[in-house]
Structure 1
Amino acid sequence: MKITLFYHSILSDWNHGNAHFLRGIVRELEERGHQVEVYEPENGWSLQNLKEGYGEEKLEELQQYYPGISTNFYTLESLDLDEGLKESDLVLVHEWNEHELVKRVGEHRARTGHYKLIFHDTHHRAVTEREAMSKYDLTYYDGVLAFGQVIRDLYLKEGWASKAWTWHEAADTSVFYPQEAEEKEGDLIWIGNWGDEERTAELHEFLINPVKELGLKAKIYGVRYPDHAKKALADAGIEYGGWLPNYKAAEEFAKYKVTVHVPRRPYVEALPGIPTIRPFEAMACGIPLISSPWEDAENLFTPGKDFLVARSGEEMKQQLQTTILNKPEKAKEVADHGLQTILSRHTCAHRVNELEKVCEELDIDASKIYLTQTEQALHEK
């Protein structure tokens, strides 16, 4: 197939947690012989922040982890959809795009009709900012890929889409896999952005306070940390590492003994079944994971085996010290179980399998979806 993807950015993961999954999907599609083109806005805020803060050399470094990764920059004023989509079989438009772009691509689909068009939603805004999401004009879209059942159901219930499929994020195991470190640099690592104060209390209860009270050696990476957050880290003796390129997470996980997951409040209160990308990343890298509570309503994992659960700050302290840090055998057991679950069910290859089934349902010719064995062999050469 010729597949065209409209992303906020594939080059930058600065405050752009979806970049991991989107990059992995592109790589997997290309490895299967599909022709993939990515479009992103010329002055996207994530890429601009990356360049301003860290320079163009980070884009060169990205090529070491994703050789040949590329994009097409556009502005809404200059975008020529007739040219860009003339040979497309499938077009995916991610929800981190301007309303105007979403509408224009839909109108182009209605006018030309030669490709299938899907909206891809990987955010909690369908629940937390329903009015803003309802303004996306999906009239001429063939359906929606939603990263959780509750989001999928909402699109259908609200009449925003006539078809919707659940399409969870997953790990790109070509980049996120267990690595070896010569020696551990500390006890605990946490990778995550501070955000919009929607989990401030939770970060103190399940991360900052336990580290401080146990006297652990810890390091935290992420962006958008306000002064009060940096002060809290310093008071707890936690090293703040700033932005970490997403593709370097596996290397950093290898240097520490444990990590934790602290879901944002909307996922805990209104979006059961959606873990976000962070647990996939950690488990794929083979580090023991302890999570504050979230409801695994879609049975993606086996809590207690793939990862441990701490229902309070006190329980987090117990799980960290007693269960993991003082019991290397138990730590390895949890890490191994989580890794095997990822490899068996939650890789980008699994998600592309699901996407191909959606393409079948949309009546895209099977000869375009699947290469024959002969074609696959030629492609691999």
Structure 2
Amino acid sequence: MKHICTILLLLAITVIANCQSDYYLVIGTYTKGKSEGIYVYKMNTATGDVNYVNKATASNPSYLDLSPDEKFVYAVNEDANDKGSVSVFSFDKTNGALKYLDKQTSGGDHPAYVAVNKTGKWVAVANYTGGSFSTLPVMANGSLGVPTTVQHTGSSVNKERQEKPHVHSTVFSPDDKYIFVPDLGIDKVMIYSFNPGSGKPEPAPVPFAAVPAGGGPRHFTFHPNGKLAYLVEEMGGEVSGYKYNNGKLTLIQRISTYPADFKEKKWSADIHISPDGKFLYASNRTPANNITIFSIAKNGKLTFIGSEPTKGDVPRNFSIDPTGSFLLVANQESNNVVVFKRNKETGLLTDTGKRIEVGNPVCLKWANER
């Protein structure tokens, strides 16, 4: 009888977890206009309704990440003149409150991306203008220790945009053994072995994956199966697909996020894969202002299936909610987040008409309500 009761209890917990519909949405922004910092909302993924919860003041917290236990929020302060830093906030999920705890230098100017590793003991941050990235230890209270900074060198063909390194993101591999560091300025995805003990990055046996000159690597993501990875190139507007194995990337495809006859400026931003691994989405900023949608074949190759206008200007990051039901887009210059319903069978998007009005939104992250 005791064994049966235990099984029933576990089943009940599983059912409750699967029925969860409310999630916190944490939004990072630029504070040059109407925004004051980081904003917390709550979204019902059954209805798509979103309600304001809380906010925390911070300077240009453009990109965020949460600790694995979701007790802490790490936000870059995308500032220059040796003021680039990472701020730490505690996150109380009983009421959605953020409380500032600490700030640590990012090791370079204009940090534009931050990621927490799987153990929650290390943070990696990309310094865009500084052309470097840093790893920072996480202390027992969630605060950050002194960074270890790796400086990139080099340039590429576009003398205005690629005159020096511009590190754009820092992505831990699924097994936490590597860090992938797309650098727009040198047209390479740099690959580093990562020691979770010392936190010190070292060049991997295959130290980089190059893209065609002028592509401008930006954001990078792994497929849920851990065997595929994808890169979006800001300047070339291409997505590169790779087979992934133990720190090595093998190119399988390059495909444009723009129509073949598109003649205007290409300016891609973000890339994400649906939770079921069937669809890939990439955002393009002005003048295209759209989300391009691809299906993903079993061999990892992409097929274009459509694009959806973002209903706003300069879409930056976007995010699919944990249930896969909605895709939300942060339109930086329109001061809003647009909520799209996502068809899980076709991958296509439909505007719900729902909007979150927030100044200069950039980054969208999710947290469980409990």
Provide TM-score, normalisation by structure 1.
0.27
Bigger strand fraction:
2
